[in-house]
A and B are shown apart, each in its own frame.
Chain A
Amino acid sequence: MISCRDVVNILASDELAMTSRWKRTEVWLHLAMCKHCTRFAQQLASIRKIAQSFMVESGLWPVRADFEERVLGRLNGEG
């Protein structure tokens, strides 16, 4: 039986997609039964969503199309 520690490590290190089908099933079954690991998984998803929203709202992402041009311009002392 897979432990909470194993589930947390698999989820946090992005190993789920790379792991075997059996292991993935074990993780899903574990998540269906364990509220703490489910909370951990939901928090990782929330962090991703909030970080994305924040970057978009503050204009930091997506990177503007002329980004490369502007960096090169700065390096060449233009502007």
Chain B
Amino acid sequence: MGFSEDEAEDLVQDVFVTFLEKIDSFEGRSQLRTWLIGILHRKAMEQRRQQAADRRHDSLDNVLESRFDDRGNWIKPPADLARLFESQRAGEMIRGCMEKLPSNQRAVFILREIEGLETQEICKLLEVTVTNMGVLIHRARTRLRDCLESAGKG
């Protein structure tokens, strides 16, 4: 269906959760297998729409992508931020950059990096799949790093 192994696992898990929630409404007019495939199809479409929306709404992916050539090697390597990280204002700067994050990315960053929660715990708390959590933490970290890099230049 064009999903990665992790996405496929999330999808199957989603299908079974929906199956358990809706089992009372199964009237037996179709085979159970057909009904499950129907749920799978709807979930796959939902996931595709979500992925498309994520791609539309987050130009950050393109920014990061533009740092690499076609073979995936750095064109624009990360700047040296050592001096900035050692400065007294590093904490304030990170806070400022954190405030600019979309709320779901900020929540994942805090739960992961500050609270130190495991992936499964974060997914349960925020009701997101493992794949979505990976995307959110990736964007949060990349945004923060880029924000600090820009701040370091200024």
B-contacting residues of A (Cβ < 8 Å)?
A: 3-6, 8-9, 12-15, 18, 36-37, 39-40, 43-44, 46-48, 50-55, 57-58, 61
Count residues on chain B whose CB falls below 8 Å from chain A CBs: 36
Q: Are B71 and A54 in contact (CB under 8 A)?
A: no
Would you call the interface of chain B mostly helix, strand, loop, or mixed? helix
Q: Are A47 and B92 in contact (CB under 8 A)?
A: no
Tell me the smallest distance from the CB of A62 to a CB of chain B, in Å: 8
Q: Are A44 and B80 in contact (CB under 8 A)?
A: no
Among A4, A12, A47, contact of B94 (Cβ-Cβ < 8 Å)? A47
Task: State in angstroms the CA–CA spacing of A37 and B68 once bound together.
Answer: 12
Tell me the smallest distance from the CB of B64 to a CB of chain A, in Å: 7
Q: Are B80 and A47 in contact (CB under 8 A)?
A: no
Q: Are A47 and B148 in contact (CB under 8 A)?
A: yes
Are A13 and B72 also in contact (CB < 8 A) when A43-B81, A47-B144, A50-B85 are? no
Are A44 and B98 also in contact (CB < 8 A) when A4-B72, A39-B80 are? no
Q: Decide if B35 is an interface residue (CB 8 Å cutoff).
A: no
Task: State in angstroms the CA–CA spacing of A13 and B90 once bound together.
Answer: 23
